[in-house]
Each structure stands twice: as C-alpha cells, then as structure tokens.
Structure 1
Amino acid sequence: MEETKINPEATHPQETQQVSPTPTPAPNSPQENKIDWGGELQRFFKTDLKNLFINLFKHPASGAQKFLATSSPSVANPLYMVVLSFVVITFFSFLCMAINGFAEFRPCVILGLAPIFFSVFITLILFVFLAIKQKPDILLAFRHSAIHVMLLSIVMLFGCLLTLFADTSLFNIMSGDNQFIGILFALTAIYAISMGISAVRQTLQTCETSEKEGYVWYVSPLVIILSLWLTGVIIKAIIF
C-alpha cells in the first residue's frame, strides 16, 4: 500500500502580501480646487491678456467665446482683469490730472472703482438671466463681465489721454465741457459699448437654440445700459 505524501505547501499555503491601494483624492477635494495664483498671474500677463484683445478686435462677433474657450477657467483670471483695470485707471487718471494741475487722488480712486462696480452689476444681471434659463453659473457670468471691464477700461484710458490735449479733467469731458474732445470720447464709448453688447449676446446665446435666440438681440443692449446706469448712479453718489 503506497503512502500518500502530503505536500506541506498545500497545507500551509504561502501567504501573499496585500498591498493597500493608494488613496486617490476625491473629485471635489480641496487639492484639486486649489488655485495656483502665481501660475495664473504669469499666464494672464503672458497669454490671456494678449489673446483677449486679439480675439475681441479680430472677431467682434465671436471673440468673447473664442477667448473664454482658450483662456484659463479659473476665477483668478477675471479677478486679475478687474484689479488691473482699477490700478491702471487710478494711476493714469491721477497722472493726467497731475499734468493738468488737477492733482486730487480721491476722484482718481473713484474713477478706478467704476470698473469694479460695473463688473458686479453685469455679473449679477447675467447670472439672473442664466438662472432664468436654468443654467446658473456665477463663474461664467463673472468671466464674461471681466471682458466688459476691460472694454470700459479702454474707454476711460482714452478719456484720460484726451485730458492732456483738452487741459481739463475726465469728469469735465464726460460732462461735455469740450465739444470736439467730447465727440471723440463719445465715439470711442459707442464703439466699446457695441463690442460689449456683442459679448453679452454671445453669453446669452449659449443658453438658447437658434430658433429661440431672437430675444437675445434685444436683451443684450439692456444689460449693458442697465449696468452702466447703475455704475453711474453709484459713482455720482460717492462723489456728491
């Protein structure tokens, strides 16, 4: 009778080492939502700021959408636009007023606050329209509002430069003190407002199909006009 040999490896199987899987961060973890402010700032001045003006002036009918499609989706991008507008307008308005002998810092700061108020109002108005269409996106509204802030800044900077030739202040130009300079300023403002209306239209068109986008052509000017009016009311209230 043959003896059956028992394999010791069969009775005592080799223990395998269990490797615990490395934990992966959750999709909405703080690590993924953390903003690289330094990297975003470098990208803003290196590419995004240049691409903004290239797209707006090269493609007036679709430049806003092209810019938003290629720029950083971070909230840092529009924040940098608003802060840059405040700093540049405050500095240049004070510089031009100082050259003309109207060196008062408080009015310059008030002028610098205009893009900030404008950004707040247009963001809220756009967000309301997006919410009505059941597509509320406060970041999208803020990113679009930053584009309008840059357009407003161009107009105000042009007005500051005109003060050097008119020997007056930007407030007097906006009040119609000098007729010729006032006409140049008004034409620049109308051009920038037209581009702003086009940018609002592109924003609202993202919520509609081609069959239902007719109202967009009528609402877009109202958004710009209402935002500018509210900004003017706040600025006048601060001044007076």
Structure 2
Amino acid sequence: MYALTLTAELNGVTSLRPKDTEATPFWYTFTVQCTSCRETHPNAVSVSRFETNELSGSRGEANFVWKCKNCKRESSASIKIAPKPYELSEPPKQQTVIEFDCRGLEFTSFSPEGEWLAEGAESGTKFEGIELQEGEWFDYDEKANDEFMPVNPRPMLQDLVNKDIVVRLKWGETEYKGRLVSIDGYFNIQLTNAQEYIDQKFTSDLGQILIRCNNVLWIKRADEKGDVAMEG
C-alpha cells in the first residue's frame, strides 16, 4: 500500500480535501518508478479513482496500468476508498489523504494539481476552487465575524510601496512604523525611516530595517484603520 500524506498549517479552515467525485474526478499527479529496475517514468502521470484500465492477460483492472520501457514489466495502482479530509490540528500533524494499492511500482513525488475544497472551522463556510500548486492558499471568510483568515497580501503590499505603514509583530506588543521600500517573493518587508513602538510607546529610531514575513501579525497604512493578517 502507498499512502499519500499531507501536513498543512491551517488557519480558520478545516476539512481540506481534493474535490473528487464521479462528476468531477480529481486526478492525482505523481512521478512513478518501477520497483524492479528502478526506472523512473520521464513524465508525470495522473490517476483517477473513477477510471479503470485492463491488465494484460485478463488479470482484471486497475486505476493505473504502466509498462516500464526499461524492463518491460507491467505494474499497476488502484485507489480503494475516497480521500479523507485533512482536519485542523495544532500543531499541524501528518495525516493520510488517500491510499493506493501499488503492484510493481511506487510513486516518488506528488503534485497537488487540481481543485481542492475546505470549510470554515467555526463558520462552516464552503471554500471551492482552491489551488495548491504553489504550496499555499489565502482567502477571506465573511461569515467568521469579520475575523481575518489568511488573505493574499501581495496586491495590498504592492499598493503600499513608497507609503508609510505600520507593521505589528506576533509577540511583544511591538510595532514598526516607516516607509515601505520593497517586498520580495517571500513577502519579507523592507522599511526605511523605521521607528519602533512597544505597547504603543515610542522606543527608538531604527532607520532602514528588514522584517521577515513569518514575524508579522498584521500590516496597515499609517493613516488607516484595520489590518491584514500575514502568514509565512
């Protein structure tokens, strides 16, 4: 048996799972390797639990059938049950999403292509059309008492470049006020003319600083109310 496991940091959502029904099947995309000669298929392969292929010699059917070009051995994989939702846990735990009965092959890596679903942990809001190819997903739950779930910060941060902002850290009642110079691909933040405030009291002038995204609780324009939560 081959188990596809997932470890995810969920904030405000639970029951993360592939959208996998007979009407809208999910195609699980892997690289595959022959267990006999260790030859790896040059292209990614996709497996659906609602599609079957015949095994040679009238040996039945499997969801995926592959003949290794190197050793000519035929191998197969089948999905026995529907995927299990990944449930919110703190700290995040590795959980099995789906299992495959593999004969003569093994899957060596997984690409989360396709549509995923989730639900608001408190509100029950249904989230559809989730894409995980880039390893992260952000959205906003309007039913959760206007509390922020992770929101994609890129458009907001790009609009704030060359403007004065306030950055609140996750601990110590610490805030930084300054002019946003730039952000990088990991949402790390560069400020100039930065000032440090602890518990809303000015502590020091810092000049130019770099703040790592995973230290940030929220960001806002210096002249505006509200904030945007950050996850990194």
If asked which structure has higher relative contact order (CA below 8 Å, sep 6+), I would say 1
Higher helix share: 1
Higher strand share: 2
**What TM-score comes out, normalization by structure 1 length?**
0.21
**What TM-score comes out, normalization by structure 2 length?**
0.22
Larger gyration radius, structure 1 or structure 2: 1
